[in-house]
Structure 1
């Protein structure tokens, strides 16, 4: 499946504002970037680096006043998510070095406080994909998708208590529950074809059987058509804009279509 993504962001700042953007997907085993356009108006000098999670980060300083960032990509992606119910949980002592950090609790995923709940949810499931799949189904059945309930400081425990949230909250709960069962998990942000309402989207991946599998508790079945922009321990690692000064986001328009 070949997708075209477009993200137009309008910003306003009272004074020059340093900014790190995370808006460029990388080519890899699960997707291939065919073409892209990245425009900043007014144009400013920029640099790019790869962070410790492998994400492409663009660094620049916006001038005082109004600015706009427009990012367009054409990406080849899978039209279906991989499913392997035989994928086993790998014991921590056998995990690759770079995966171990995804077992640790993090700012929005306090997995060290969620083991008892996770064990009740997966009762009767063999370790591995079946447990991860049960967790995603439980989240979908027990947490309402609702705007205005959560805020930037909301963690997985808050979402469980509120019983509602948006895609990033669903992902945090899934990650925290999986980690509490010693299954490495990470938050993913990007685009999903035919998402309603259209926006940037968040889901999560679990490391099983030697590879990462995607889970999205906001959807009623495994759906492909995803463009991954970034992944990390939780939302703190994958913010699409990180500003180091006062900055107002006045408009964001996202679209995803078949190429």
Structure 2
């Protein structure tokens, strides 16, 4: 299947303000592109890319006084298959985990394992380790948090999401990641595009989405606590320990968001641009 995706985002500032942006698709999806993927700025300003420690493409740019618009539009090929399932995937003993996986067991900015460890073990200690345990955590978070765009707050942590029981997709992901880590299951945060493909359309402005991966049976598998169902057409942009590592934009000075539009739609092959 072919998916057309992109965005138009405007940030305004009274003074020149440096910014980092994780608004490119992840390098693991580059070979799936069927049209060029370019970030276009208005006004035109220099923009430089580098690869961070998690393998994400990060763009460095300075917002000029007055503001900057970043836009992108591309078409990508997807296999059209739902998120893979492996019900027999085992949970590894910590001593058997590869060295580079251990960081995804640790507490991070939005994932306070120390505050949720007792809760996690009381809820999931009796569940079967591995896939079954992760699915139990996903189902719990899905039912525990009420989704609503009006609940968005960029500072909300997993502990606060657990207490407040409201949030957006990143809050579902942070709480599920934290509960997994408390149960010694490596988990990492992911962000990207997820359109209403293969599901009823939602009558709301499109947004980027957040989900998470867990390390089971020697591989990373995708889970989504907000939807609690396999989905079609995920386009990964960035991943890391939590939203700090995969923030769409990080500004080093006062800015305001003046426009935010995202599109992700399945298209026919003859609509390639």
| Same fold, judged at TM 0.5 (above) | yes
Q: Choose from 159, 166, 169 the match for 1:167.
A: 169
Please give the alpha-carbon distance, in whole angstroms, between the structure 2 residues aligned to 1:30 and 1:118: 37
Structure 2 residue aligned with 1:24: 24
Deviation at 1:165, TM superposition (A): 0.9
Q: Which runs of 5+ in 1 are unaligned?
A: none
Q: Does 1:33 align with 2:33?
A: yes
Which structure 2 residues correspond to residues 1-259 of structure 1 after superposition, within 5 A? 1-28=1-28, 32-35=32-35, 36-79=37-80, 80-194=82-196, 196=202, 197=204, 198-259=206-267
Report the number of matched residues. 259
Please give the alpha-carbon distance, in whole angstroms, between the structure 2 residues aligned to 1:77 and 1:91: 34
Q: Which runs of 5+ in 2 are unaligned?
A: 268-273
In 1, are the aligned partners of 2:54 and 2:240 still within 8 Å (CA)? Answer: yes
In 2, are the aligned partners of 1:89 and 1:129 still within 8 Å (CA)? Answer: yes
In 2, are the aligned partners of 1:30 and 1:78 still within 8 Å (CA)? Answer: no
Structure 1 length-normalised TM: 0.94
Deviations 1:181-217 (A, max 9, x none): 1100011110102173310111111111111111111
Cα 1:200–1:150, aligned 2, differ >3 Å: closer, same or farther?
A: closer
Deviations 1:160-199 (A, max 9, x none): 1111111111000000000001100011110102173310
Name the structure where strand makes up a greater proportion of residues. 1
In 1, are the aligned partners of 2:169 and 2:226 still within 8 Å (CA)? Answer: yes
CA RMSD of aligned residues (A): 1.8
Please give the alpha-carbon distance, in whole angstroms, between the structure 1 residues aligned to 2:232 and 2:28: 16
Cα 1:108–1:153, aligned 2, differ >3 Å: closer, same or farther?
A: same
In 2, are the aligned partners of 1:2 and 1:75 still within 8 Å (CA)? Answer: yes
